[in-house]
Amino acid sequence: MMGTPLYMAPEQLRSEAIDGRVDVFAFGVGLFRMINGYFPFEAEHPAALIYLVLNEYDLKFTPQVPGGLRELVERCLEKDPRRRAKDFDELVPGLELLTEKCSETGEMTSSLRGIESFAKRTSKRNPYLNRVMIKNPSDFFGRQAEVRKIYSRLDASHPQSISIVGERKIGKSSLLNFIYHPKNRKRYMTNHGNTVFVYLDFQRDVELNIPKFIHFLSQMFDYEMKFDRNYKRSGGTLEQLRAIIEELHDKGTRLVALMDEFESITRNRNFDESFFSFLRSLANNYNVAYVTSSHQELQMMCHDQNISESPFFNIFSNMPLRPFPHHEAMELITVPSRAEGVPMERHADQIISLAGYFPFFLQVACCTVFENLADDPEAKPNWDRITRSFRDEVDPHYEFIWDHLEKAERENLFRLSLGKRTDKKLNYINEKLIRRGYLQESQGGLEFCSSACRDFVLEQGQKSIGKKSFLGSMFKRKKR
């Protein structure tokens, strides 16, 4: 299989016979991107992208795209090549008619307004704009201790399964992608040559079940094994999947399945206890290992108690993912900015004070500071403006975290934001918040992970007190 996955037609990805209609599909992808500003099929990982090209039928156009243009693009992107235009001669009349109509009505103008701004670029490339999983290994910073530990376990004589557990926006997906990357396997592993890695992402499929799981896994076998045979057509039952694994095992092939946000499986009622017993038997009897990520320990996120108490989870060693240590935070702040000619090392203390050591929040703070200094790297940063811009972006994430904290955790954090001590009986709560990265110990006692987080907690606590006072006064009036 050869090609660029973003532009490849489904029949190319399935290694079927192809003709000029694959060029029509690629043209449709380019045209879709020109009029919308994004690709018709986008995912954080190549394996997930391939899954969408093959299975996603709902194309999301921006509202201003004219209906005729939408229909033409949809005809180019038909998954079944028999329903697609067979060549460009078939498209010409429709394009000419559409051009004539839009010239008369001016309809095309509104659909192209976004393209001009999309094409504009600043003089210096901001290396901190990424807000999703980091795909390029050269953009990945930190986590070297975790990387070495994961690879050493996967490289063992019998590969070992690992459960990565960490808070939201701690960098779990980026770590999994780094582990998946072929160049990194060669760098860290002895057994990289006979180990097949598959990356499974089920987040977009809310109707996932066992047959779909097997289909997706077999599809990834086809992709990763360079289509040496059609695994996807080997069947859709667990025993047929076992036969595939046994075949690979007999060839000396080791299998590592990377599964991001694995709670989408453990919480799914379509996956019963026997399914997890099956996964365990594969890991015990063949050279199979799983690397999963979740924001809590998997046993705590099962839809059935029998599953949470099953021996499946005994095959995993837990790896908690914490905020960056100081030296890794410094690496993220200094290396990319220096490469782009806007060195930020002298502002590192203020950046860490504002954002803390969570990779995502550091990335946002660095992005904001970089933009502030891009025109004049020697200028003094406007920290008031930087703080406002930073809070505008991160407050929705803080709100999500705040809403999912326990009541006692919120109360402890609010007391600390007021500069008060917490009850010694509740020290276990503070210890939990330290482990999760929201508090840290210092010579003066406990302090927040960042000034922005402290200010957010203070604001939320004051809002809560205001609501209680209002409700209390209303209740007193009613009582009178």
With a cut of 80, say whether residue 471 has pLDDT above it: no
In a domain, 411, yes or no: yes
- 200 and 243 both lie in a single domain: yes
Phi–psi pair at 267, nearest 5 degrees = -90, -5
Examine the pLDDT at 117 and tell me if it is beyond 80: no
Q: CA torsion sign, 329 to 429 to 424 to 466?
A: positive
Residues forming a β-bridge with 320: 165
20-29, 46-55, 95-104, range with greatest mean pLDDT: 20-29
Whether 54 is in a domain gets the answer: yes
Same-domain status, 192 and 294:
yes
pLDDT band at 118 (very low <50, low <70, confident <90, very high): very low
Who contacts 82 (Cβ-Cβ below 8 Å, separation ≥6)? none
Residues 83 and 181 in one domain: no
Task: List, in sequence order, the alpha helices (H) in 273-382.
Answer: 273-285, 305-308, 326-339, 348-355, 359-373
Strands 445-448 and 439-442: antiparallel
- 83, 192: one domain: no
pTM of the model: 0.73
Confidence of residue 454 (pLDDT cuts 50, 70, 90): very high
Residues 87 and 188 in one domain: no
One domain, residues 221 and 286: yes
pLDDT recorded at residue 354: 97
* Residue 421 clears pLDDT 70, i.e. is over it: yes
Instruction: For strands 254-259 and 288-294, give the pairing.
Output: parallel
End-to-end CA distance of the chain: 79
What pLDDT does residue 396 have?
94
In a domain, 219, yes or no: yes
Please give the pLDDT value at position 159: 94
150 shares a domain with 106: no
125 part of a folded domain: no
Amino acid at 164: I
Residues 172, 109, single domain; the answer is no
Same domain, 110 and 167: no
Structural domain boundaries enclosing 24: 5-119
> Same domain for 258 and 150?
yes
Distance separating alpha carbons of residues 179 and 147, to the nearest angstrom: 7
Rg (CA), the chain: 26
Identify residue 286 by its one-letter amino acid code.
Answer: Y
Residue 328 lies in a domain: no
* CATH at residue 101: 1.10.510.10
260/90 Cα distance (integer angstroms)? 43
Q: Look at residue 451 in the predicted model and tell me its pLDDT.
A: 96
Alpha-carbon gap, residue 356 to 363, rounded angstroms? 10
Condensed to tens digits (0 to 9), the pLDDT of residues 218-254 reads 878 877 776 556 666 666 789 988 988 998 899 899 9
Q: How far apart are CA 386 and CA 417, in angstroms?
A: 22
The pLDDT value given to residue 332 = 96
Pick the more confident residue, 202 or 348: 348
| 3-class secondary structure, 101 | helix
How many structural domains comprise the chain?
3
CATH number at residue 234: 3.40.50.300
Judged by average pLDDT, the poorest of 1-15, 200-214, 353-367 is 200-214
The confidence score (pLDDT) of residue 422 equals 83
Q: What is the pLDDT of residue 231?
A: 63
| pLDDT, average across residues 200-229 | 75
Out of 171-180, 387-396, 469-478, pick the least confident.
469-478
Q: Is 288 helix (H, G, I), strand (E, B) or coil?
A: strand
Task: Select from 321, 341, 363 the last residue of a domain.
Answer: 321
- For residue 255, the cross-strand partners are 196, 288
What does the pLDDT read at residue 136? Answer: 81
Higher pLDDT, 207 or 117: 207
89 and 218 fall within a common domain: no
Confidence of residue 36 (pLDDT cuts 50, 70, 90): confident
DSSP SS3 for 290: strand
Amino acid at 142: G
409 and 295 together in one domain: no
Last residue of a domain, one of 290, 321, 352: 321
Are 364 and 372 within 8 A, CB to CB? Answer: no
**Span 56-68, mean pLDDT?**
80
Could you tell me if residue 356 is inside a domain? Answer: no
Boundary of a domain, candidates 273, 294, 321: 321
